[in-house]
Amino acid sequence: MPDLRDLPAVDRLAAALDAPHHLAIRAARATIDERRNELKAGATDDPDLIARAQERLQRAEQPSLRRVLNATGVIVHTNLGRAPLAAAARAAVSRAAEGYSTLEWDPATGTRGSRHDHVEALLTELTGAEAALAVNNGAAAVLLAAAAIAGPDKEIVVSRGQLVEIGGGFRVPDVVAQAGATLKEVGTTNRTRRADYAGAISDRTGAILRAHPSNFRQLGFVQEVEIEELCELGVPVIDDVGSGNLAEDLRALQDEPPVRRSVKAGAALVCFSGDKLLGGPQAGLMVGTHAAVQAAKRHPLARALRLDKLSLAALEATLRLYRDPTTRQIPVLQMLTADDAALHAKATRLADGIGEVVESTAKVGGGALPLLELPGPAVAIPGDAEALAARLRANDPPIVGRIQDGRLLLDPRTLADDEIDLVRAALG
């Protein structure tokens, strides 16, 4: 029976490992500590500690943030990094990361520039807004908007039907509180009228906040006030439109509020995400009137929430792709609008020798278009679904599918063409 006295010395185990001394010592010590705890708990097996320590070393050498092959059929998968970047955006990140950059320097004058300039002109061009600002995520954009437009000693009017919570426990009432403003609720959970807003406006009103419900929808006996009517009430309107619909010409996005509509209606600030339907990096985008954007830029929170150079590079490249709607090369939009013939061709190629093509349904994900279902093919892999899923997760790079009705399904919609063979090889 194994005994604590049988444990090898740290130096002896480290010497048996194929690694630099300092790494071998660390792995050996952790392995021995782990085995000591097992023995104290009553373990009776006799594992190969050298193999265990070597495996620990291999895991330690892998980066924590790694590429994943997404075969779930969820296009904007929050846990997997949301939108995959377009080739142009990836190239822009690489260029910006190579050395120094023009982040806050103007080469024409040789003087200090503004990081906001890299995307502001593109955002105003694409949305029709007077000014724009990019911060580090959508929640930050709403927080900064509320703080800059309303702030302390002012009220922000919100419909009770829009006091929502989104992923990570992010709640609209908490945003208003952190902005220093007072929340003033109007209407009811399912029905809010223009008169409810009008009756709530007073000298203390800083803004009306319209919050997009994001990952749920109310159906049936419901009523809400459209953005045009809100902007007619004579107070600043902050419109959180959620996922960043700049491709309003696409039929698939018809249920997502377009950014241009809110700008045209006269909203002081329109807030949306850069890494959902827009298809760029994590970012929170704010477009609107010159006065409102300037107030946001001057607010102390703006520096704390600013966007870094790599994200700015990816965002600029992504926005440039929107200039010509006939040639957009944005993966999220391509997956969303993929035609049936192309999907079945990918599914047939994926299934060859490893599974069968079945009909299934993909989702947009990321809190966007929660009611939209995307019918299409998937590949069902025979065998123990849980065991297969674990095997694919252990692959390098990890592969993630979905288990449905006791079967492991791999959805080709969210796999790039060059990833099909990688998945097949992992199951071969």
- Are 284 and 136 spatial neighbours (Cβ–Cβ below 8 Å)? yes
pTM of the model: 0.90
| Separation of alpha carbons 186 and 204, rounded Å | 15
Q: Is 83 exposed, middle or buried (0-12, 13-18, 19+ CB in 10 A)?
A: buried
The model's pLDDT over 49-77, given as tens digits with 9 standing for 90+, comes to 999 999 999 888 888 899 999 999 999 99
Q: Strands 131-135, 284-288: parallel, antiparallel or unpaired by DSSP?
A: antiparallel
Q: Please, which pLDDT band fits residue 172 given cuts at 50, 70 and 90?
A: confident
Please write the tens of the pLDDT for every residue from 353-401.
999 999 999 999 887 777 788 999 999 999 999 999 999 999 999 999 9
pLDDT at 168 (0 to 100): 62
Per residue in 84-121, pLDDT (tens digit) is: 999 999 999 999 999 999 999 999 999 999 999 999 99
Q: What is the mean pLDDT of residues 152-160?
A: 92
pLDDT confidence of 48, banded at 50, 70, 90?
A: very high
Contact between residue 35 and residue 49 where contact means Cβ atoms under 8 Å apart: yes
Structure tokens at 4: 């604590």
The whole-number average pLDDT for the span 35-49 is 91
Tell me what pLDDT residue 54 has: 93
Asked if residues 178 and 184 have their Cβ atoms less than 8 Å apart, the reply is no
DSSP 199-244: HH--TTEEEEEEE---S----SS-B---HHHHHTTSS-EEEEEES-
